[in-house]
């Protein structure tokens, strides 16, 4: 089980309102007690924070607000001492406008090798005042920004995300070499793996062909569709195989395994499976679970299609319920629409991943959402393959939906002109203790995003001794998962003893998982004993929106 740390919002040891690496070190025992096997740390590199650290000025250092390289080393050693592996974010698609290579490119002028490190192109129109093509950015607005040099406006540069995040040119061997050094730098320091940001977007089609117009923006479509000129280009394969060789070189030298995890939204699933073909990446996030509605038929189809597809390549399926880019799971499941319907063919064809708060306009019932989120956590943790938990899910934190606009920092909020609220609501600093802000995040400094009053009852300290808390549920489930011979990798078999609105599967030896999403309580299988339950049984029956883990009677 991999726990995602978003450093700005995790723990603030130096009390400046921003989380830091020393705060992460202080919480290593909490993570060990929670029962995780690995942590993934979102970017901790020097950054102007135009996109929360996904705009990097130096890939081989730590941002001063987070600490120092020595702190990072101490974190890795401390994690290893506690049996936790460490993955960090690699951000290879784009840098920061403040990266020295981009500053050099701006200064060097059109046609220079420095500009070849990025995507610079002449504008269109008689005076070049229109962008090179119609591409829209994933954060809203055009994907091109015009350079204004000492003698006035000149070329444009490409940014799939914010203008502060210029895209690297991955067909340039100098870019490949630069990242080889970065990968080795962290692997040499003992980091066990890399979560590869925007792993399917690195290469852009030659000639920058236009995309069809997105009616919402009037610009070329930015999000994925098969054949899109910046998603899943064929050249990615060579890049991934090359990285894999670098990683495997560590195991060959008996220095330990080094792994790669793709963040990719490539569709259909068969195309995504190519990323985890032998000799390419180890795993890829499965965002289907995150987007699937809380409905038995959809969940079963989503699970089956992922298990079957991954089995064809022999890679483990990962399961993701939440992360720093989407509405928190408690809040999603508390909405009248909880996600997308799924069939064995996947989500509806018109489905597009966007940095939008699809869920926000709907009212929320957080109590219902938390009940379902607890049931979903037990489902996720019972499935074969690695599970990802985003910080705060173990506390049952809801999205903070009423953040004042003045406090928001997510560029997707600003670039979309406020049409979407963006991702700040899932990034509010964690509550560790106490009943007033900053709830033990720091000692008294106000955190970079304001925390809501409900954090008082949801803090880790408030939950740790409470047998019914979400934290206790996660700790219990992870303890069982860590030792039960049926859990972790392996297979599952669906039992068909229940009506359609109940998911029931078994895993050998002797484990059962029952998820009741029907409107009525259901009986336990005969002879089964409850090991963990997401909510109390009622008269010995499993109530609605509840998952139970079972020890099955042996025949």
Residues recognised as catalytic: 197, 263
- Specify the residue, 91 or 221, whose C-beta has the smaller distance to ligand BGC: 91
Nearer to ligand BGC, 161 or 388 (CB): 161
Rounded CA-CA distance 417/109 in Å is 32
* Min separation Cβ 325 and ligand BGC, Å: 5
> Closest CB to ligand BGC among 272 and 552?
272
Output the smallest distance, CB 295 to ligand BGC, in A.
27
Position of minimal CB gap to ligand BGC: 54
Quick check: bond before 468 cis, omega within 30? no
Shortest distance (Å) from residue 137 CB to ligand BGC: 10
For position 357 contacting ligand BGC by CB under 6 A, the verdict is no
Min separation Cβ 313 and ligand BGC, Å: 23
Q: In angstroms, what is the minimal distance from the CB of 53 to ligand BGC?
A: 9
Instruction: Determine if 263 is a binding residue for ligand BGC (CB under 6 A).
Output: yes
Q: Are 501 and 517 in contact (CB under 8 A)?
A: yes
Sketch the per residue contact string, 4 through 43, with ligand BGC: x for CB under 6 A, - otherwise.
Answer: ----------------------------------------
**Residue with Cβ nearer ligand BGC (295 or 410):** 410
172, 116 Cβ separation under 8 angstroms: yes
Site string for ligand BGC, 218-257 (x = CB under 6 A): ----------------------------------------
Residue with smaller CB distance to ligand BGC, 198 or 273? 198
Among 51, 200, 380, 394, binds ligand BGC (CB under 6 A): 51
Q: How far apart are the two ends of the chain, measured CA to CA in Å?
A: 31
Among 12, 20, 197, 288, binds ligand BGC (CB under 6 A): 197
Contact by Cβ (8 Å): 82, 36:
no
Question: Is the Cβ of residue 223 or residue 433 nearer to ligand BGC in the bound state?
Answer: 223
Q: Which of 20, 288, 293, 325 binds ligand BGC (CB under 6 A)?
A: 325
How far is Cα 162 from Cα 299, in angstroms, rounded to an integer? 34
d(CA 542, CA 404): 40
Smallest gap from Cβ 280 to ligand BGC, in A, equals 19
Order of strands, edge to edge, in the sheet holding 502-507? 493-494, 502-507, 511-516, 546-551, 529-533
Residue placing its CB nearer to ligand BGC in the complex, 53 or 440 = 53
**CB nearer ligand BGC, residue 265 or residue 317:** 265
**Cβ–Cβ < 8 Å for 439, 397:** no
Q: Which helix (H) or strand (E) holds 470?
A: helix 470-483
Q: Is 319 in the site for ligand BGC (CB under 6 A)?
A: no
Give the Cα separation of 301 and 297 in Å (integer). 6
Q: Which of residues 59-98 bind ligand BGC (CB under 6 A)?
A: 91
What's the rounded Cα separation, in Å, for the pair 518 and 297?
Answer: 11
The footprint of ligand BGC on this chain (CB under 6 A) covers a number of residues equal to 9
CA dist 402 and 416 (Å) reads 18
Copy the structure tokens of residue 521: 């309580």
Q: How far apart are CA 537 and CA 555, in angstroms?
A: 25
| Residue carrying the six token digits 């009616």 | 215
Interaction with ligand BGC in 135-164: which residues (CB under 6 A)? Answer: 161
Nearer to ligand BGC, 88 or 198 (CB): 198
Strand ranges inside 273-340, DSSP E: 283-284, 319-320
Residue of 273, 365, 287 lying closest to 323 (CA atoms): 287
Q: Does the N-terminal peptide bond of residue 438 adopt cis geometry, omega within 30 degrees of 0? A: yes
For residue 278, how many other CB atoms are within 10 A of its CB? 9
User: Binding residue for ligand BGC (CB under 6 A) from 3, 40, 44, 54?
Assistant: 54
Could you say which DSSP state residue 9 is in? G
Structure tokens at 318: 């990962």
Smallest separation, CB 64 to ligand BGC (Å) = 21
The C-alpha atoms of residue 101 and residue 68 are separated, in whole angstroms, by 22
- Min dist CB 8 to ligand BGC, Å, is 12
Task: List the one residue out of 55, 57, 300, 319 whose CA is nearest residue 161.
Answer: 55
Binders of ligand BGC among residues 390 to 429 (CB under 6 A) are: none
> 325: which residues sit within 8 A by CB, 6+ positions away?
355, 423, 426
Closest C-alpha to 193, from 102, 119, 130, 263: 263
Classified as helix, coil or strand, 317 is coil
CB of 521 to ligand BGC, least distance (A): 39
Q: Which residues are at the interface with ligand BGC (CB under 6 A)? A: 51, 54, 91, 161, 197-198, 263, 324-325
């Amino acid at each position: 089980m991999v726990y995602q740390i978003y450093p700005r919002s995790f723990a603030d040891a130096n009390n400046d309102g921003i989380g830091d690496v020393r705060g992460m070190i202080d919480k290593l025992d909490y993570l060990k007690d929670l029962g995780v096997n690995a942590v993934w740390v979102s970017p901790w590199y020097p950054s102007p924070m135009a996109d929360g650290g996904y705009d990097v000025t130096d890939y081989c250092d730590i941002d001063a607000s987070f600490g120092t390289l020595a702190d990072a080393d101490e974190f890795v050693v401390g994690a290893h001492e506690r049996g936790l592996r460490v993955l960090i974010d690699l951000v290879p698609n784009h840098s920061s406008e403040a990266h020295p290579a981009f500053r050099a490119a701006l200064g060097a002028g059109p046609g220079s090798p420095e500009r070849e490190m990025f995507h610079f192109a002449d504008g269109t129109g008689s005076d070049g005042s229109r962008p090179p093509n119609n591409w829209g950015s994933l954060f809203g607005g055009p994907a091109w920004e015009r350079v204004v040099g000492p003698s006035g406006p000149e070329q444009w540069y490409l940014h799939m995300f914010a203008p502060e995040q210029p895209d690297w040119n991955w067909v340039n061997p100098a870019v490949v070499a630069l990242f080889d050094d970065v990968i080795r730098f962290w692997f040499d320091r003992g980091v066990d793996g890399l979560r590869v940001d925007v792993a399917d977007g690195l290469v852009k089609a030659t000639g920058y062909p236009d995309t069809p117009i997105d009616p919402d923006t009037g610009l070329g479509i930015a999000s994925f569709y098969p054949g899109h000129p910046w998603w899943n280009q064929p050249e990615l394969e060579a890049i991934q195989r090359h990285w894999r060789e670098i990683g495997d070189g560590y195991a060959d030298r008996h220095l330990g395994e080094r792994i790669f995890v793709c963040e990719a939204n490539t569709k259909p699933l068969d195309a995504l499976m190519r990323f985890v073909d032998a000799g390419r990446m180890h795993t890829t996030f499965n965002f289907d679970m995150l987007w699937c509605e809380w409905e038995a038929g959809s969940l079963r189809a989503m699970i089956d299609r992922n298990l079957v597809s991954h089995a064809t390549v022999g890679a483990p399926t990962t399961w993701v319920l939440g992360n720093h880019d989407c509405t928190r799971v408690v809040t999603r499941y508390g909405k009248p629409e909880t996600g997308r319907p799924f069939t064995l063919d996947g989500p509806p064809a018109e489905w597009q991943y966007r940095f939008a708060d699809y869920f926000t306009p709907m009212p929320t019932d957080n109590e219902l959402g938390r009940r379902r989120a607890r049931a979903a956590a037990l489902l996720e943790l019972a499935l074969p393959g690695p599970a990802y938990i985003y910080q705060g899910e173990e506390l049952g934190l809801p999205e903070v939906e009423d953040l004042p606009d003045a406090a928001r920092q997510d560029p997707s909020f600003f670039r979309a002109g406020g049409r979407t609220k963006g991702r700040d609501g899932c990034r509010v600093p964690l509550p560790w203790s106490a009943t007033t802000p900053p709830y033990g995040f720091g000692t008294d400094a106000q955190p970079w995003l304001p925390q809501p009053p409900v954090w008082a009852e949801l803090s880790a300290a408030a939950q740790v001794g409470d047998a019914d808390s979400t934290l206790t549920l996660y700790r219990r489930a992870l303890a069982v998962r860590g030792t039960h011979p049926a859990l972790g990798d392996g297979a599952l078999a669906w039992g068909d003893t229940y009506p359609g609105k109940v998911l029931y599967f078994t895993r050998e030896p002797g484990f059962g998982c029952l998820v009741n999403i029907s409107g009525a309580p259901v009986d336990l299988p005969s002879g089964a004993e409850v090991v963990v339950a997401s909510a109390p049984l009622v008269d010995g029956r499993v109530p609605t929106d509840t998952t139970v883990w079972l020890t099955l009677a042996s025949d």
